[in-house]
Amino acid sequence: MSLPESFRGRLSLPLISAPMFLVSGPELVIEACKAGVVGTFPALNQRSSEGFEEWLIQIKQELAAYEEETGKKPAPFGVNLIVHHTNPRVQADLELCIKHQVPLIITSLGAVKDLVDAVHGYGGAVFHDVVNVRHARKASEAGVDGLIAVCAGAGGHAGTLSPFALVAEIRQFYKGTVILSGCMSTGRDVATAQLLGADLAYMGTRFINTQESRAVPEYKKMIVDSAASDITYTPKISGIPANFLKPSLASAGLDPDSAEPKKVDLGEELQAPEGGASAWKSIWSAGQGVGSIQDVPTVDELVQTMRAEYRDAISEFRDNSGDYLS
């Protein structure tokens, strides 16, 4: 298993709670880290760099207080930076991450060696989202510490490749940390990700349906009421192919088959008004794993449940595979 040194001995499960636009806030990050899984959030969930820094300070202070009170080391936390030319805040937010020595930076829409070197300069790690082998090779050349294989059915911006194909091909040339994303909701799924060759699982939709997430109650109910057939994959909502809940599209009066193509513009997204239908605000994303989500527990309750499922899955695998290993 290949993991950054800062992760070792601090995880109760090999799992990252993925950064979700408008959903992941400091409450979710802090509780995930306390429970022993990596908590992350997008820098753009705060509408200003000043607000972003306030969140960094809050997370660091509360995790330090938890460690002092309990003697337990929480899991590291991370920040997602969208490295795209339309993101006007990427440099300012990176400088704040350097100032506060954020343990993990997750980059999307661009693997930049100068950014990687800057994070390595204070001892941080960089993971990068990839949906195909070409992107994985470019990120590897930039020196990232981990590749997040975003496979078919993942919530948000996702790829189309099977995890069997993408993880296997990445492993042929990449020796760093491999993280698998797509359709995972249970501890059994986490164990399966490791059997496929990943070091860590990357789970988003399941954490939308926690009490600490910032998703509105209607969003969480829609996830409970949905199955894989209620997910549609389209580039016409955010400008990049992504998975969305069909009922939220219908509520907004949108048909992705007839909608006009949208251009990617993160600056425009940041300035979008609070009202009206728009990607992520009222048009909600989810992965194909929604069919196994039936409740809205606390993060701690969810992680404890997944730990039990993880142990049971490994035990069951050992019992069932014995005849084939002799």
Report the Cα 232 to chain-centroid distance in Å: 19
Confidence of residue 304 (pLDDT cuts 50, 70, 90): very high
**Which pLDDT band, with edges at 50, 70 and 90, does 111 fall under?**
confident
Tokens of 6: 């800062």
26 alpha-carbon distance from chain centroid: 14
Q: What is the largest CA-CA distance in the chain?
A: 63
Task: Output the pLDDT for position 258.
Answer: 62
Strand intervals (E) in 124-282: 125-130, 146-150, 156-157, 177-181, 200-203, 231-234, 242-245
Query: Using one digit for the tens of pLDDT, what is the confidence trace for 164-223?
Result: 999 999 999 999 999 999 999 999 999 999 999 999 999 999 999 999 999 999 999 999
Note whether 70 and 62 are within 8 A (CB): no
Please write the tens of the pLDDT for every residue from 40-86.
999 999 999 999 999 999 999 999 999 999 999 999 999 999 998 88
Distance from C-alpha of 254 to C-alpha of 320, rounded to nearest angstrom: 47
CATH of domain 5-215: 3.20.20.70
pTM over 0.75, yes/no: yes
* Residue-range domain boundaries for the chain: 5-215, 217-288
How far is the C-alpha of 174 from the C-alpha of 167, rounded, in Å? Answer: 10
pLDDT above 60 for 242: yes
Q: Confirm if 223 and 209 have CB atoms less than 8 A apart.
A: yes
